[in-house]
Structure 1
Amino acid sequence: MALHKEINTEFGVPAAYHRVASVQIYYLDRCCDVYLSGYLSAEARGEAKSPMLSSQTRLSFDALGLRGDGEPTRAAIYDALKSMPEFAGAIDV
């Protein structure tokens, strides 16, 4: 699971394939930090190339649609990311 959207990098070439690299969950604060890696393409990721772009964002459990004692799912995380301005228009790949 990943997102496709071209985002400019400091290298002058856009990263188009973005995947969640890790998630740190804070149950007491009802949020999670999501660490993303952006690659030139899915092929570059498959060839174990280094990410061109790394970023981190915090998502609240409310943004993930969690009520009560639920666990964040990968699908919920990607859906929440697509609602953010930097990933507006991204498609699932």
Structure 2
Amino acid sequence: MKDFLAGLKQSFLREFLWLFGALIVALLLSMGLHQLLEVSTAHYEMVVQELHHNETTLEVLLFVLCLVGIYLTRLVVAAVSMLADTAPVE
């Protein structure tokens, strides 16, 4: 039972660190994408108009998209790694 709890604690802490790292990377990516979008003023104004003239919504949307993208990438890498470990060696 102690081994199970120790493994659970380790898994929880690993996920917490992944979440913290993903939040930081998503914030940096979303700020970079926002700056890149601002370079093209016409496209930026069009996107902001689509969001009812709310720039905060654009920033939050970019952040959420980056965070989801990071976690999806992490899940795909974990799935491929798991499949590679279970594949029979010929």
TM-score, normalising length: structure 1: 0.25
Greater fraction helix: 2
Identify, as 1 or 2, the structure richer in strand: 1
Larger radius of gyration: 2
